[in-house]
Structure 1
Amino acid sequence: MMEQTLAAFLAAQERKSWDPATLNCMLFPAAWAIWIGYRDPVEKWRGAFRNEEEYLAIVRAAGGCVPLMAEAVARIGGRPLSVPVCGAVGVVGSPTNLDRQFGAIFDGCRWLVRFTNRIGSMSARPLAIWSI
């Protein structure tokens, strides 16, 4: 069931255009949460930035994507995981380079990230994982 729901979500997201203010790598997992019935976990940040530079300023001020995602996931009752399951959300990338951290969704086999031109897999270390 989760696999089919995720496949439908991914197909719908592929048709949307990248926009740093409305559809980026951190808003991608938030869109997934909304798709499966949760309230908007990032309503606090929607409209708070207009471009990539302003978005990255928020990430840097927060100390990276992990604290931002942790706060967002907590708003909808998500739970930390040590091993990802299909439909889990997480932050993947560099533990030290805040500009190289990405919100991602686990499809059961790999982490999926919203790139500027598509959704694709990323071979990167998970920095934090949550079940939603």
Structure 2
Amino acid sequence: MDIHHFLALPHRFRWGGVGGDDCMTFPASWALRCVGIDPAEDLRGTYRARDEAHAIVERYGGELAFMDGHLLKIGAKRVQHPETGDIGLIRAMTGETAADRIEAKIGAIRFGPLWVCIHPAGIRATPAEHVAAWRLPA
């Protein structure tokens, strides 16, 4: 699937990745569209709130270990120089209101020089520093 077509689809924020996506299932949905395998299949529907999502990620040893484990099992490879369509773990400001905004590590999809992620207000493309990036199998 083309990244433009994927981003044009209706997207909505939902913790747990059922009926929408959160910051970690959003790039997993992209992987599903591209390679036909959902790296988040084992997690979808198992949580419904931020604290539950964070507890799952911590059980894996943090965001990097969480994403690495899920993406490597579908054949994704780590890359140093991400290109459009690659999945990344980025540093970004999160929170639904200005009062609860914090810097966090979230999943995103490379789109030109930007990273696209999902937020309660919808899809956002933003410049960001990536912690790690993965290229999906062809």
TM-score, normalised with respect to structure 2: 0.82
List, as ranges, runs of 4+ consecutive aligned residues in structure 1 with deviation greater than 6 Å. Answer: none
Partner residue, 2:7: 10
Q: Distance in 1 between matches of 2:43 and 2:66?
A: 10
The correspondence for 1:124, drawn from 112, 128, 135, is 128
In structure 2, the gaps of 5 or more residues are: 93-102
The correspondence for 2:64, drawn from 63, 66, 79, is 66
Residue 47 of structure 1 and its aligned partner are, at CA, apart by 2.1
In structure 1, the gaps of 5 or more residues are: none
Partner residue, 2:55: 57
Length, aligned pairs only: 124
Partner residue, 1:101: 105
Q: Distance in 2 between matches of 1:62 and 1:124?
A: 24
Output aligned runs, 1:66-85, within 5 Å.
Answer: 66-85=64-83
Partner residue, 1:37: 35
Residue 57 of structure 1 and its aligned partner are, at CA, apart by 1.2
SS of aligned partner of 1:100: strand
Residue 44 of structure 1 and its aligned partner are, at CA, apart by 1.8
TM-score, normalised with respect to structure 1: 0.85
Q: What does the per-residue CA deviation read over 1:2-60, in whole Å, with 9 as the maximum and x for residues that have no partner?
A: 7xx10100111xx2321111110100100001111331111121222121110011123
Higher strand residue share: 2
Coordinate RMSD, CA, aligned: 1.9
SS of aligned partner of 2:35: coil
Q: Distance in 1 between matches of 2:79 and 2:11?
A: 29
SS of aligned partner of 2:39: coil
Distance 1:90 1:60, change over 3 A: same
**Equivalent AA in structure 1 for residue 80 of structure 2:** S
Higher helix residue share: 1
Q: Distance in 2 between matches of 1:122 and 1:109?
A: 9
